[in-house]
Structure 1
């Protein structure tokens, strides 16, 4: 079983969440995927290329994505026979992201540039049909960046939703999602 972690905007594939999942699921191939979540055309190319490397090997895949990574986890599940877990997903980055230059969180000295074209391109990747794979949603109801009630209303009846009263946007105490991932591995 492969588990990918898709980081959100201003984060990286070296997220501590990857290390936590590697320790929690030692029998799985857990990896953080290095991609550009804010640049849809480039993100699609990287994610599809990474998936094609799995085909013919152990191609069972669970994609765990936080925020903008949740957007991409949902899109991948609509395109490929995979499972995804969206944590505080950014469903409409074309509306919630801003254009400009932004610094990556942590010790990285990297600048992210978001253009108007990037925001427009997100419209080509919004999921408009039932997912091909299995998807579940985790929401921290105290998300300070995205409106979790609005997200819940939009996804209600489409995917199972797991609500947590606390966790904030970056979903602290990440290990709380491990039982959900464990169930997804078993299905």
Structure 2
């Protein structure tokens, strides 16, 4: 059965990030220029994982499941995995966090946003438990997931990321970095082709 064109696209940024991240801005620009019929939403996610998912699920409550898609980067990739597990929508994961409860436990305390160091937030101990509660487990439709994973990621282990998504399409990059600095040049077209096939 042919996949219908996407009508709605959700972008979920990573930890300490925002809709001002490079990849989010590049995707917003691409949607505006070449996919204007796509409904685009890239919310600023609250620090609390529970509140972040509540915001997202309320925001997409009326979206058509078959023609919506989600893109998530790093922690946003973990959230996007939850979204696709619940909705069965297409998902693109960019160096997705797979064990954030373990990895973010050392960040409890005062934090700042990468793109706005003047903006502070407090990462609370209970957020680790909230992350643990959002682990989606094995995906019922892994073929609807496309993960771009860089072996050169300096933050996350590419082996853990790859092992998390059996049955999914995976682009495993030699080298690269956590931010996917070559996103526009090497990956943006592939992401949009997966989300919105012609």
* TM-score computed with the length of structure 2 as normaliser: 0.83
CA distances 1:13-45 after superposition (whole Å, capped 9, x unpaired): 222323312333332333322212x42210121
Inter-partner Cα distance in structure 2 for 1:70 and 1:171? 13
Alignment of 1:74 with 2:81, yes or no, is yes
**Is the Cα–Cα contact under 8 Å of residues 79 and 132 in structure 1 kept in the other structure?**
no
Inter-partner Cα distance in structure 2 for 1:166 and 1:87? 14
What's the RMSD between the two structures over aligned residues?
Answer: 2.1
Deviation of 1:143 (Å)? 0.3
Question: Match for residue 191 of structure 2?
Answer: 180
1:30-179 maps to which residues of 2 (within 5 A)?
30-36=40-46, 38-54=47-63, 60-97=67-104, 98=106, 99-132=108-141, 134-155=144-165, 157-175=166-184, 176-178=186-188, 179=190
1:181 alignment partner, SS class: helix
* TM-score computed with the length of structure 1 as normaliser: 0.87
**Is the Cα–Cα contact under 8 Å of residues 21 and 115 in structure 2 kept in the other structure?**
no
How many residues align structurally? 183
Structure 2: stretches of 5+ with no match in the other structure: 1-6
CA distances 1:37-91 after superposition (whole Å, capped 9, x unpaired): x422101210111102535xx9722111110000001000000131111111111
**Is the Cα–Cα contact under 8 Å of residues 18 and 31 in structure 1 kept in the other structure?**
no
